[in-house]
Amino acid sequence: MPTIRLTCAQALVRFLAAQRTTVDGTEVPIFAGAWAIFGHGNVAAMGEALHGIGDALPTYRGHNEQGMALSAIAYAKAMRRRRMMAVTSSIGPGATNMVTAAAVAHVNRLPVLFLPGDVFAGRRPDPVLQQVEDFEDATVSANDCFRPVSRFFDRIARPEQILTALPRAMAVLTDPAQCGPVTLALCQDTQAEAFDYPESFFAPRTWRIRRPPPDAAELADAVALLRDAKAPLIIAGGGVHYAGAAETLARFAEDHGIPVTETQAGKSALPHDHPMNLGAIGVSGTSAANEAAEQADLILAVGTRLGDFATGSWALYRNPNRRVVALNVQAFDAGKRLAAPLVADADLGLQALSAALVTHRAPADWLARCQAGLTPWQQAAARATGPNNTALPTDAQVLGAVRRAVPESAVVVAAAGGLPGELHKLWNATGPGTYHLEYGYSCMGYEIAGAVGVKMALPDREVVVLLGDGSWLMMNSELATSVMLGTKLIVVLLDNGGFGCIDRLQRGSGGASFNNLLATARHETLPAFDFAAQAAGLGAIALTVSGTTALEAAIATARAADRTTVIVLKTDPAGSTAEGGHWWDVGVPEVSPRAEVRAARAASDAARATQRLGD
């Protein structure tokens, strides 16, 4: 058997460069590149290997390990999990900086390969710089933090171990049900050790995303429930996008007269003006969608993990006869809450359901009632987002201005805070891929880093980032990466003086405004931030505006610019859209000297009484 002598690191990157996939009929490398911040633990061996592989596996440099990992994750999401990236760091803080990003990928079921440096397998120089020492377990390193947030974890302590670890990693990364982060912790002496690897190990291999069809018995059960339903409702989740099932979903809804609602991950599966689309569902949902959900007697949940935001903490679906059919490629999700499972690829599952239902349609009066709720909601949304030039616009007014100023093909990127809730309700998404929100893990700091990954995946699209000053202060370093790599973004930075979203939640739960807005945090002097100067200092074009009319003009300027532009404007921290939405269980205290807290607890107890437990 022909062999080639390589270091473990050289063999690893050569293997990654040889893996292929097919996107829209074209065969391409499955790994679009590797992100790297080099340090003690990966610079000597992994750095040499990445340099040697060159453009076969291009290396990109970030400014924060978490940030570059978030860029990799966002790239995979924008590519609908068809392509992905690897991320390597030093041991110690370089590695643990990536643990938050691993959790983002884990919760959102997105593929990314983490390659953190690790301690010496041979232990000759122990304890090395940055080594975490467990007094009772000598096998522990800081990289064990990745275990609970990885779908697959391995520690590479001998160079031949990658012969089994890498194929297993690829199987997880490309499995639609198991998909998520993989961590291969690379002992730094092992990275540099040589081994005679079989040449066949580096032969190109094409990975295809598995599309499992539904089980016949599960399909029959789901069809029977749909035929019996008088008020069926579809919830479209992220699985619709990953399966490329948006067109199939639209046809299914039209052919069988079943209205559609969307989770954060599912939003944009249907265009906002599609007649079957009732819009966002749940805590940040539209009134049209939530009114339908309260009455529905059957929920067809397609590609969603049915988190508390989509279910109103399981108090939204109030029909006592309500059943759930969960169409999901992952059996764990399909079996939640005693749902009737339909374990299958979302596209194939919908096709099979439609074929079995033949010409069956839901009652016409049900669809008519649901669609009648769209007009009052659309009027309320238009009022919330309409032109307004107040000095301190609300988030909704900012969203309206941005939507009017960017092309329909633009991709909006956001993450934690109040913006995702307003975007979920109010943003008019024009089709699949135009709405990119990280709200599974609600990770502050995702916004700019994630947008870099989105732009790398979709270079011909305008990518617009919306974030607050809290997220900006938490992680703005990848703005410099955007400038450095030429991934041009339009960043709209809303300065509301702190964590405005959580301040509203705090006050809504009866608490006093405390430690969220800068003005209510302990301070001697309030800082006078100059966000535009910060942005300019990182290499971006920076504009400061007041009001939404000036914002629209600034976006036009940014669209014509040759690099990333940051637009800063002050906004109202207290304002949010009252229409739509639903109760969210956040654990209001049972005992408090504050009358406001006691009142909030009473309201929470009343809402909890409507929660459906066990089903």
Residue 497: pLDDT band (50, 70, 90) is confident
pLDDT at 576: 82
Residue 55: pLDDT band (50, 70, 90) is very high
Residue 269 has pLDDT above 90, yes or no: yes
Strand order in the sheet with 181-187: 59-60, 31-36, 84-89, 112-118, 181-187, 152-156
Burial of 217 (0-12, 13-18, 19+ CB in 10 A): exposed
Residue 417: pLDDT band (50, 70, 90) is confident
Which tokens sit at 451?
A: 């947008």
What is the value of pTM for the model shown?
0.97
Question: Residue 108: enclosing H or E segment and its boundaries?
Answer: helix 99-108
Q: Quick one: residue 564, left, alpha or beta (phi over 0 = left, psi -120 to 50 = alpha)?
A: beta
- As a whole number of angstroms, the distance between CA 494 and CA 509 comes to 24
Percent of the chain with pLDDT over 90: 93
- As a whole number of angstroms, the distance between CA 606 and CA 202 comes to 62
Percent of the chain with pLDDT over 70: 100
Residue 243: pLDDT band (50, 70, 90) is very high
pLDDT at 582: 94
Residues 6+ apart with CB under 8 A from 1: 198, 199, 200
Residue the block writes with tokens 């005693």 = 338
- As a whole number of angstroms, the distance between CA 432 and CA 269 comes to 5
Domain definitions of the chain by residue range = 3-207, 216-372, 378-570
Q: 77: helix, coil or strand?
A: helix
| Helices and strands: H and E segment counts in the chain | 25, 23
Which tokens sit at 110?
A: 């997105």
Amino acid at 557: T
Which tokens sit at 430?
A: 């024009």
Residue 613 has pLDDT above 90, yes or no: no
Q: What is the pLDDT of residues 291-309, one digit of tens each?
A: 999 999 999 999 999 999 9
Q: What is the pLDDT of residues 192-205, one digit of tens each?
A: 999 999 999 999 99
- Domain at 3-207: CATH code: 3.40.50.970
Burial of 176 (0-12, 13-18, 19+ CB in 10 A): buried
- As a whole number of angstroms, the distance between CA 116 and CA 149 comes to 14
pLDDT at 52: 98
Q: Is the peptide bond before 127 cis (omega within 30 degrees of 0)?
A: yes
Q: How far is CA 453 from the centre of its chain?
A: 12
* Cβ-contact 427, 435 below 8 angstroms: yes
Burial of 553 (0-12, 13-18, 19+ CB in 10 A): middle
- As a whole number of angstroms, the distance between CA 307 and CA 241 comes to 17
* Cβ-contact 118, 186 below 8 angstroms: yes
pLDDT at 499: 87
Strand order in the sheet with 260-262: 277-280, 260-262, 232-236, 298-302, 323-328, 340-343
Residue 427 has pLDDT above 90, yes or no: yes
Residue the block writes with tokens 């989740």 = 237
Instruction: Look at the alpha carbons of 482, 483, 487, 488 in this order and tell me if their dihedral is positive or negative.
Output: positive
Residues 6+ apart with CB under 8 A from 26: none
β-strand partners of 234: 260, 300
pLDDT at 22: 95
- As a whole number of angstroms, the distance between CA 141 and CA 306 comes to 35
pLDDT at 376: 96
Residue 614 has pLDDT above 90, yes or no: no
Residue 188 has pLDDT above 80, yes or no: yes
- As a whole number of angstroms, the distance between CA 355 and CA 214 comes to 12
pLDDT at 407: 97
Residues 6+ apart with CB under 8 A from 610: 315, 318
Residue 125: pLDDT band (50, 70, 90) is very high
Q: What is the mean pLDDT of residues 549-559?
A: 97
- As a whole number of angstroms, the distance between CA 580 and CA 377 comes to 8
Residue 500: pLDDT band (50, 70, 90) is confident
Q: What is the mean pLDDT of residues 429-446?
A: 96
pLDDT at 498: 86
pLDDT at 577: 85
Q: What is the mean pLDDT of residues 480-488?
A: 98
Residues 6+ apart with CB under 8 A from 125: none
Q: What is the mean pLDDT of residues 23-30?
A: 95
Q: What is the mean pLDDT of residues 266-273?
A: 98
Residue 445: pLDDT band (50, 70, 90) is very high
Q: Quick one: residue 65, left, alpha or beta (phi over 0 = left, psi -120 to 50 = alpha)?
A: alpha
Q: Give the other-Cβ count within 10 Å of 578's Cβ.
A: 8
Q: What is the pLDDT of residues 573-589, one digit of tens each?
A: 887 888 899 999 999 99
- As a whole number of angstroms, the distance between CA 183 and CA 181 comes to 7
Q: What is the pLDDT of residues 91-105, one digit of tens each?
A: 999 999 999 999 999
* Cβ-contact 28, 72 below 8 angstroms: no
- Domain at 378-570: CATH code: 3.40.50.970
Residue 35: pLDDT band (50, 70, 90) is very high
Residues 6+ apart with CB under 8 A from 359: none
pLDDT at 135: 95
Confirm or reject CATH 3.40.50.1220 for domain 216-372, answering yes or no: yes
DSSP state, 30? S
pLDDT at 615: 73
- As a whole number of angstroms, the distance between CA 547 and CA 552 comes to 9
* Cβ-contact 53, 17 below 8 angstroms: yes
